Amino acid sequence: MRVSEWQTFFVRVVPGHRVASGLNQDPRFPGGTLRMQWPHFLERGLDLARFYPGTMNVSLAPRRYCVQTPRYTFRAVRWHPVAPAEDFSFLDVRALRKGRDPVEGFIYYPHPETKPEHFQKDDILELLLPFLDNVPYGTLLQLEVPREQLRVE
């Protein structure tokens, strides 16, 4: 996909549900939801092995976002033995921290209309990135996202 123009905005790192990483210890999701989902994304052509197996939640409040044309969208992914199938999209993102090199990854977007639980507020983005050290809650990040993939309002 050719990216025509990147938009830049600031976000703040916030706590999440800790389900994607498995840190909430929910026995329904051993090792976290992402570890359970990744083989299904891989068989559809998206290899996420270079990323930390958890999401970094960031808030762009008071702004909101609208997903436009993601890099990848996978429909009806049946990743759990008893949960219903879900739709997922992935959008390109670059995260920048002061004094550090940019880090490339994806915005991980489980479609709310197919997601059974653990909903996010409409100002929260979930980032899939390589492991980053020393990023406590409250850290301000600058994100770059292609305009055609995400609209920030």
**What is the band of 35 on the pLDDT scale with cuts at 50, 70, 90?**
confident
Asked if residue 17 belongs to a domain, the reply is yes
Asked if residue 1 belongs to a domain, the reply is no
145: amino acid identity, one letter: V
Asked if residue 82 belongs to a domain, the reply is yes
CATH number, domain with residue 109: 2.40.30.30
Provide the token pair at 53. 């197996």
pLDDT (tens digit, 9 = 90+) per residue, 59-79? 999 999 999 999 999 999 988
* Number of Cβ within a 10 Å radius of residue 42: 12
What domain range is 22 assigned to? 6-152
Residue with tokens 């983005």: 125
C-alpha 147: how far from chain center: 17
Residue with tokens 């329904």: 28
Our count of domains for the chain comes to 1
Strand, helix or coil for residue 110? strand
Question: Side-chain half-sphere of 25: how many Cα atoms within 13 Å?
Answer: 0
Asked if residue 116 belongs to a domain, the reply is yes
| pLDDT reading at 31 higher than 80 | no
What is the pTM assigned to this prediction?
A: 0.89
